[in-house]
Structure 1
Amino acid sequence: MQFIKNRTVIGVICIVLSLVICFAVTPLFNQSISDKTEIVRVVKPIQVGEEITADKVKTVEVGSYNLPNDVVKTVETAIGKFAFADLVPGDYIISSKIVAEPAAENAYLYNLNGEKQAISVSVKAFANGLSGKLQSGDIVSVIAPDYKKQGATVIPAELQYVEVIAVTANSGYDANTGEKSDADAEKELPGTVTLLVTSEQAKVLAELEVDGKAHLSLIYRGDKTNAAVFLAAQESVLTELYPSVEEKTAGYTPEQTTEAGTADFAESEVSESTNVPESEVE
C-alpha cells in the first residue's frame, strides 16, 4: 500500500501509460480509420422488387472503419439481384437489402419473358370469380354469356384453358402471395383475377371486360405437370385458330408465298373497308 501511495511511482506509471497510448494504441487506431476499401453505392433510385442493373450502382472507395460486415464490395454481387427495400442514391448496398428473387409482391410478373402476357379481368360479382377460392396455378375456363351479342353463352375457343397467376383484392393486395395475414385476406373479396395469356387471348378478354360479362370456372388445380397438359391443349387450339405466316405458306414456292401474302393483305383490306358497297368490290 505504501508503494501505491508514493507519488513518484504513480507519476512514473502514468507517464509510461501515456507513452504506450501515444506511440502504440493511437497509431493503430489512426491506421484502422485511414484504411480504404471499395464498396458498391447506389447512383439511381431503386424501388423494392426492382432488379439492380449496372447503370444504377457503382464502386467507390471509402474508409473501411465501422462498415457493416455484410456490405457488398463488388458490383457483380449486386447486379441481377432484386431490391428488398427502397434504395436511394448515396446508399451503400448490404446483403440483407438484396435478394436473388423479387419480393413476394408482384413476383409473378418478373417471370414474363415476352412469349405471353398478364391481363386482369374484373370480378363483377362474388360468384363470377369462384367465390374467392381461386389460387395461383389454377386452370380455369372463361365463360361468356351472350357472347358477341349473339344470345348464346359459350366458352370461347381461345379461353378454354387459362392459367391464373394472381387473385387481387380491391385494396391492391394479392391473396396468393401472402402479403397480408390469413385473417385479413378472408375479410377482403377478390376484385380482379390476373391470367397468363397470349396476345390473341388478351384481345378476347379485353372485349369481355368491356361487356362486363365473364365467369371463371375451375378446371384443374394440382400438379404442374398435369396443368401443363391442359395448357398444351389450349396452345394447339390457338395454333389452329391463328396459324403463323410460316404455317400458312408451308409448301409454297417463293412466288406463291408472295402471291399468298398479297392476297391475304388484299382480303383484309377489303374486309376492313366497311364503307365500300359490295357491288363496288370486284
Structure 2
Amino acid sequence: MNLLKNRTVIGVVCILLALIICFAVTPLFNQTISEKTEIVRVVKPVKLGEEITADKVSTVEVGGYNLPDDVVRNLDTAIGKFASADLAVGDYIIASKIADEPAAENAYLYNLTGEKQAISISLKAFANGLSGKLQSGDIVSVIAPDYKKQGSTVIPPELQYVEVIAVTANSGYDANTNTQGSDEDSEEKELPGTVTLLVTPEQSKILAELEADGKAHLSLVFRGTAEQSAAFILAQEAVLLELYPPAEEEADSAEASGNEGGQDESIEREVAETTSEAAESEVE
C-alpha cells in the first residue's frame, strides 16, 4: 500500500503504460484501420424488386475496419440478384438486401413476356370481386352491366376467360400473399381493393373502359392447376384471334372461317373435358 502511495512509482507505471499504448497498441490499431479490402458498391439507383445488372454496381477499395460481416465483396455475388430494398448510389451491398427472386409482392410482374400486359381494375363493392375469395391463377369472366350504354348486361367475348395474377389491398400489399404479415401481427385482414389481370392489348382497352364506368364485376370460372387453366386461356385466345385477326390474314378471313369454326369446337370440347376432370378430382 505504501508503494502505491509513492508518487515516483505511480509516475513510472503511467510512463510504462503510455509507452505500451504508443508503441504497441496504437500501431496495431492503425494497421487494422489501414487494411484495405474490396467491396461491391452501387453506382446507379436500384429500386425494390429490380434486377441488379453489371452497369449498376462496381467494386471499390475501402478500409476494412468496422465493415458489416455480410458485405458483398464479389461482383458475381450481386449481379443477377434482385434488390429486396431500395439502393441508392454509394450504398454498400450487403447480403440481406439482395435476393435470388424478386420481392413476393411484385414477382408476377417479372414474368411478362411483352405479348400480354398486366392491368388492374377496381373493386367498387365487396361483392364485385367474389367477396375477397379470388386468388392468383384463378380464371374469371368479366361481367359488364349496361355494356356500351346499350342497357344489357353481358360478358364481352374478349373477356370470357381471363387469368388473375394478383389481388391487392388498398394499402398496396397483395392480399393473396404473405407480404402483409401473419394474422397474429394484424388485428384485421385487409380487404382487396383491386384485381390485376393478365390480358392482351385489346382486352386491356375494354377493361380500361369498364374501369372508367366503374361497373366491372368478376365471376369465378375455374380454379385448378396451371395445366387445366391453360385450356381456358387457349379458348380465349382463339376467340381473340377470330375477333382481331392479324393484318396479313384479313384477306383470307373468309376462307379461314370454316377452319376456325372447327378449331373453336375442338377447344370448347377441351375446356369441357378439363372442367369435367377437375370436378371428378374434387369429388374423389
What is the TM-score normalised by the length of structure 1?
Answer: 0.74
Of the structure 1 ranges 59-68 and 129-138, higher mean CA displacement relative to structure 2 is found in 59-68
The alpha-carbon distance between structure 1 residues 151 and 244, as it changes in their structure 2 partners (threshold 3 A), is same
2:279 aligned residue: none
Q: Distance in 1 between matches of 2:40 and 2:124?
A: 48
**Does the aligned pair in 1 maintain the 2:163–2:197 contact within 8 Å?**
yes
2:239 aligned residue: 237
* C-alpha displacement of 1:31: 4.6
Q: Distance in 1 between matches of 2:246 and 2:76?
A: 41
2:94 aligned residue: 94
SS across alignment from 1:105: helix
Q: Distance in 2 between matches of 1:101 and 1:218?
A: 30
The 5-angstrom pairing of residues 78-89 of structure 1 reads: 78-89=78-89
Of the structure 1 ranges 226-235 and 149-158, higher mean CA displacement relative to structure 2 is found in 149-158
1:277 aligned residue: none
State percent identity of aligned pairs: 74
Structure 2 gaps, min length 5? 1-11, 254-284
* C-alpha displacement of 1:74: 2.7
Q: Distance in 1 between matches of 2:63 and 2:123?
A: 56
Q: Distance in 2 between matches of 1:59 and 1:123?
A: 47
SS across alignment from 2:218: strand
How many residues are treated as equivalent by the alignment? 241
1:217 equivalenced with 2:219 (yes/no): yes
1:271 aligned residue: none
The alpha-carbon distance between structure 1 residues 145 and 182, as it changes in their structure 2 partners (threshold 3 A), is farther
SS across alignment from 2:104: coil
1:275 aligned residue: none
1:121 aligned residue: 121
Q: Distance in 2 between matches of 1:62 and 1:239?
A: 59
1:196 aligned residue: 198
Of the structure 1 ranges 31-40 and 95-104, higher mean CA displacement relative to structure 2 is found in 31-40
SS across alignment from 1:109: helix
Structure 1 gaps, min length 5? 1-10, 252-282
What is the TM-score normalised by the length of structure 2?
Answer: 0.74
Q: Distance in 2 between matches of 1:182 and 1:237?
A: 41
* C-alpha displacement of 1:68: 3.0
1:280 aligned residue: none
1:33-81 Cα deviation digits (max 9, x unpaired)? 4332221112233332222233332211112334333321233322222
CA RMSD after TM alignment: 3.1
1:153 aligned residue: 153
The alpha-carbon distance between structure 1 residues 175 and 50, as it changes in their structure 2 partners (threshold 3 A), is same
Q: Distance in 2 between matches of 1:59 and 1:72?
A: 10
1:53 equivalenced with 2:53 (yes/no): yes
Q: Distance in 1 between matches of 2:182 and 2:73?
A: 39
The 5-angstrom pairing of residues 11-160 of structure 1 reads: 22=23, 30-160=30-160
* C-alpha displacement of 1:108: 1.7
Of the structure 1 ranges 127-136 and 33-42, higher mean CA displacement relative to structure 2 is found in 33-42
Q: Distance in 2 between matches of 1:237 and 1:164?
A: 19
1:206 aligned residue: 208
SS across alignment from 1:226: helix
Q: Distance in 1 between matches of 2:62 and 2:85?
A: 23
SS across alignment from 2:227: helix
1:177 aligned residue: 177
The alpha-carbon distance between structure 1 residues 66 and 182, as it changes in their structure 2 partners (threshold 3 A), is closer
What is the aligned counterpart of 2:248 among 246, 249, 255? Answer: 246
**Does the aligned pair in 2 maintain the 1:175–1:185 contact within 8 Å?**
no
Q: Distance in 2 between matches of 1:46 and 1:222?
A: 36
The alpha-carbon distance between structure 1 residues 30 and 249, as it changes in their structure 2 partners (threshold 3 A), is farther
Larger Rg: 1 or 2?
Answer: 1
Q: Distance in 2 between matches of 1:102 and 1:185?
A: 28
Letter in 1 for 2:245: P
